[in-house]
């Protein structure tokens, strides 16, 4: 009876340790505990060495308890995290972890950070050797998979006992906010290339200005894309190198983005939703427009108006656009285009370039888009941007091999033909249009804006 009680008490004791102190047996403890069990098989031949077996069992139990006492307590370690508060969507974000060992002996630990859902850490876990009374720093790359506000929680540490028979899980609270914004790397790349007059490397065209509604802006070095008529010969002779004049438009114009956050923008493309691609391209064009002295605004809508930023100039507006778009997400709600355009007319009556970023897949939404954009031409210059679905266009280009593939290709061709009709109707109504794949939107959108500016369509 006592033996059975011992058999029951040992597991219950281990469960009590696990619940109260987060202490668990390690693999070494299992192997160490199996050794007396194997030796007890010799009792089949006789019980003449039972006292020796009991003495060995006592040694095993004593060693387990002594090793259990060597487990570090929570106060033996402390952890800190360092990382920037702002990150870019799907861009690697550096996170640094510092672990301090306050004890007089070296410790072997495994460290894991509490990464939010939707984010991926590389590497996800560290195995470190902490020297006595030392501070060890390690780092990993956090790659956010979505925009929004995330919260980094605790830092989890697993420590082992001196003989490695026991392990304890410790959690150190380190709350920290992480705001993930749309991809800002393209803004830095554009700023760098624009500083050296090499934006053509991004695919953006230099568009010749039409008319004389320009004023002198600055002098700069001549490039192969420049018109030789703009060479300033006096400055060239003084500096000893070809120098040209830069011009800018005399008047500041307004650009307003209408961003559809409804169900049409929930489709995924290359790991991001259509809305993520739309925000990335919107921010790039906003940066270019603000740099040229224009005012930029934004209106996000779905079944209701979600956010409105009135058009303003200056690079501070870029920060407002970033903060205003990072926590907007696509929902399964049906978009109310009529409410969005009525709200726009009431809050921005002055003429502006209105860029609608959306997607159409049926006649109901297409009719709303065409009707609202056509009405908008009386006061504003509308630009309808329709994002393509890779699945439809891929199905239309696949070589049919069976009946199912033939039917899918025929349906895809019918959708593409209907989509072309929608774009043609927009053009006949005086609405500018753009039909591109989501990941290729940025360059065509910026080029269309530069073309509108050069032709003075506003």
SS3 291: helix
The pLDDT assigned to 2 comes to 41
User: Higher model confidence: residue 251 or residue 407?
Assistant: 407
Contacts of 445 (CB under 8 A, 6+ apart): 281, 284, 285, 355, 385, 434, 436
The pLDDT assigned to 346 comes to 92
Tokens of 50: 């039972």
* pLDDT score of 12 more than 60: no
Mean pLDDT of 62-84: 85
Q: From the CB of residue 447, how many other CB atoms can be counted at a distance below 10 Å?
A: 17
Tokens of 342: 């009525």
Stretch among 51-65, 66-80, 219-233, 299-313 having the lowest mean pLDDT: 51-65
The pLDDT assigned to 137 comes to 93
The pLDDT assigned to 247 comes to 66
The pLDDT assigned to 53 comes to 63
Burial (CB count <10 Å: 0-12, 13-18, 19+), residue 382? buried
The pLDDT assigned to 269 comes to 84
H or E, element range at 412: helix 403-428
Closest CA to 345 of 320, 373, 370, 321: 373
Mean pLDDT of 80-92: 87
pTM above 0.85, yes or no: no
Query: pLDDT tens digits, residue range 327-345?
Result: 899 999 999 999 999 999 9
Query: pLDDT tens digits, residue range 354-387?
Result: 999 999 888 888 899 999 999 998 889 999 999 9
Burial (CB count <10 Å: 0-12, 13-18, 19+), residue 204? buried
User: Higher model confidence: residue 407 or residue 29?
Assistant: 407
Instruction: Name the phi and psi angles at 61, rounded to 5.
Output: -65, -40
Query: pLDDT tens digits, residue range 245-269?
Result: 876 554 578 999 999 999 989 988 8
Distance CA 5, CA 11 (A): 11
Query: pLDDT tens digits, residue range 145-195?
Result: 888 889 998 999 999 888 878 888 999 999 999 988 887 666 666 554 554
Stretch among 50-64, 133-147, 373-387, 428-442 having the lowest mean pLDDT: 50-64
User: Higher model confidence: residue 129 or residue 30?
Assistant: 129
The pLDDT assigned to 46 comes to 59
With beta carbons less than 8 A apart as the criterion, state whether 433 and 427 touch: yes
Q: 82-106 as b/e, with b when 16 or more CB fall inside 10 Å?
A: ebeeebbbbeebebebebebeeeee
Query: pLDDT tens digits, residue range 275-287?
Result: 999 998 899 899 8
């Amino acid at each position: 009876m006592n033996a059975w009680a011992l058999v029951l008490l040992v597991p219950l004791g281990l469960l009590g340790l696990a619940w109260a102190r987060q202490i668990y047996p390690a693999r070494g403890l299992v192997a160490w505990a199996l050794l007396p069990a194997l030796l007890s098989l010799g009792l089949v031949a006789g019980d003449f060495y039972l006292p020796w077996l009991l003495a060995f069992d006592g040694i095993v139990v004593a060693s387990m308890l002594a090793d259990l006492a060597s487990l570090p307590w929570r106060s033996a370690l402390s952890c800190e995290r360092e990382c920037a508060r702002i990150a870019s969507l799907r861009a690697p974000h550096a996170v640094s972890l510092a672990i301090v060992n306050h004890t007089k002996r070296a410790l072997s630990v495994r460290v894991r950070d509490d990464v939010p859902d939707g984010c991926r850490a590389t590497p996800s876990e560290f195995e470190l050797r902490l020297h006595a009374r030392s501070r060890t720093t390690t780092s990993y790359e956090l790659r956010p998979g979505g925009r929004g506000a995330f919260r980094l929680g605790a830092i989890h540490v697993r420590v082992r006992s001196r003989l490695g028979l026991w392990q304890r899980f410790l959690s150190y609270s380190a709350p920290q906010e992480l705001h993930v914004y749309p991809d800002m790397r393209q803004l830095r790349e554009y700023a760098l290339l624009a500083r050296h007059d090499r934006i053509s490397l991004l695919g953006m065209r230099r568009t010749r200005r039409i008319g004389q509604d320009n004023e002198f802006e600055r002098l700069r070095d001549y490039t192969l894309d420049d018109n030789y008529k703009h060479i300033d010969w006096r400055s060239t002779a003084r500096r000893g190198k070809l120098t040209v004049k830069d011009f800018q438009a005399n008047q500041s114009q307004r650009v307003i983005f209408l961003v559809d956050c409804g169900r049409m923008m929930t489709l995924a493309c290359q790991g991001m939703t259509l809305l993520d691609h739309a925000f990335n391209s919107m921010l790039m064009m906003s940066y270019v427009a603000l740099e040229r002295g224009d005012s930029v605004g934004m209106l996000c809508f779905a079944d209701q108006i979600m956010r409105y930023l009135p058009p303003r100039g200056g690079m501070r507006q870029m920060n407002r656009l970033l903060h205003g778009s990072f926590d907007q997400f696509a929902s399964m709600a049906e978009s109310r285009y009529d409410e969005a355009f009525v709200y726009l007319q009431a809050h921005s009556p002055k003429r502006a370039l209105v860029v609608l970023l959306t997607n159409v897949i049926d006649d109901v939404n297409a009719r709303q888009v065409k009707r609202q954009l056509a009405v908008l031409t009386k006061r504003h210059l509308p630009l309808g941007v329709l994002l393509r679905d890779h699945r439809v266009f891929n199905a239309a280009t696949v070589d049919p091999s069976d009946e199912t593939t033939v039917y899918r290709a025929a349906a895809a061709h019918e959708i593409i033909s209907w989509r072309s009709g929608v774009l043609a109707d927009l053009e006949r109504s005086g609405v500018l249009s753009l039909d591109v794949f989501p990941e290729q939107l940025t360059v065509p959108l910026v080029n269309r804006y530069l073309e509108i500016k050069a032709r003075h369509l506003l």
